[in-house]
Amino acid sequence: MRLRHIRGAEESIASSPYVVQEPEKQKGQWQQVFGNTHPIFIEVGMGKGRFIMELAQQHPENNYIGIERYSSVLLRALQKREELELPNIQFMCVDAKQMADYFEKGEVSHIYLNFSDPWPKDRHAKRRLTSPEFMKVYEQILAEDGKVEFKTDNRGLFDYSLEAIPQAGWKIETFTFDLHHSPMAEGNVMTEYEMKFASEGKPICKLVASPRQEASPNNIA
């Protein structure tokens, strides 16, 4: 995403009631933040937030948290957020690498990664949001039946993810190389990037992954 610093972005975010300030203080306390025990769904790298705000509108029975590390980008989402009556969504301006500092094991039900930056150079592989380093972070906070959903137009990043995610000990539950022409399209909510790429006729890839369960006397087939 091309970034232009917006003057005052940090100040607006620091004073916004829609941004969780000092999220490390909420670790293990997220039910109090939302005032209920509904499951928590997170989008990592939400950009301007179209996707997660649409989901929050469609599903009042869930809680949503949008994570975006750049204040100038998050500011755009906040401007949109202010026009909506949504009690079930909050934002965080943090690097997702630190998520295990903010959530206890099992506090998060679902993680969405949408059109994540590809970081094509090998030396930047650890920055990819589907790298083993990030999958380890997600595993530390997800519920036992939790899942990660990943969409991208970038075939190189997708092929990498199809290999890297199982190497990290996760199971790929399902995937497609052409989401919009597959059964997985049902109920699909488009992101900003997805709308742009779809209008250019680019196929969108999607996978769903879950942390593989350790074999135990109870779950050996």
Active site residues: 117
Contact pattern for ligand SAM over residues 131 through 170, marking x by CB under 6 A: ----------------------------------------
Distance CA 56, CA 65 (A): 9
Encoded amino acid at 194, one letter? E
Q: Which stretch binds ligand SAM (CB under 6 A): 16-24, 56-64, 90-98, 156-164?
A: 90-98
Decide: is 70 part of the binding site for ligand SAM (CB under 6 A).
Answer: yes
Count residues binding ligand SAM (CB under 6 A).
21
Q: Which stretch binds ligand SAM (CB under 6 A): 15-23, 94-102, 153-161, 203-211?
A: 94-102
Distance CA 151, CA 195 (A): 12
Q: Which residues pair with 108 in a beta bridge?
A: 142
Alpha carbon of residue 144 to chain centroid: 17
Contact in structure between 108 and 139 (CB atoms under 8 Å): no
Q: Which stretch binds ligand SAM (CB under 6 A): 9-17, 33-41, 65-73, 213-221?
A: 65-73
Which one among 16, 20, 47, 165 touches ligand SAM, defined by CB under 6 A?
47
Q: Which is nearer to ligand SAM, 18 or 70 (CB)?
A: 70
Decide: is 114 part of the binding site for ligand SAM (CB under 6 A).
Answer: yes
Which one among 13, 16, 42, 68 touches ligand SAM, defined by CB under 6 A?
68
Residues, the chain: 221
Q: Give me the residue whose beta carbon is nearest to ligand SAM.
A: 45
The phi, psi pair for 133, rounded to 5°, reads -60, -45
Nearest CA to 60 out of 81, 39, 76, 77 is that of 39
Decide: is 66 part of the binding site for ligand SAM (CB under 6 A).
Answer: no
Distance CA 155, CA 177 (A): 8
Which one among 16, 88, 130, 191 touches ligand SAM, defined by CB under 6 A?
191
Q: Which is nearer to ligand SAM, 74 or 209 (CB)?
A: 74
Cα distances (angstroms) measured from residue 98 to each of 74, 81, 194: 17, 24, 26
Decide: is 69 part of the binding site for ligand SAM (CB under 6 A).
Answer: yes
Decide: is 23 part of the binding site for ligand SAM (CB under 6 A).
Answer: no
Q: What are the residues whose beta carbons fall under 8 Å from the beta carbon of 213, sequence distance 6 or more?
A: 144, 219
Distance CA 47, CA 75 (A): 10
Q: Give the interface with ligand SAM as residue ranges (CB under 6 A).
A: 1, 44-47, 67-70, 73, 95-97, 114-117, 191-194
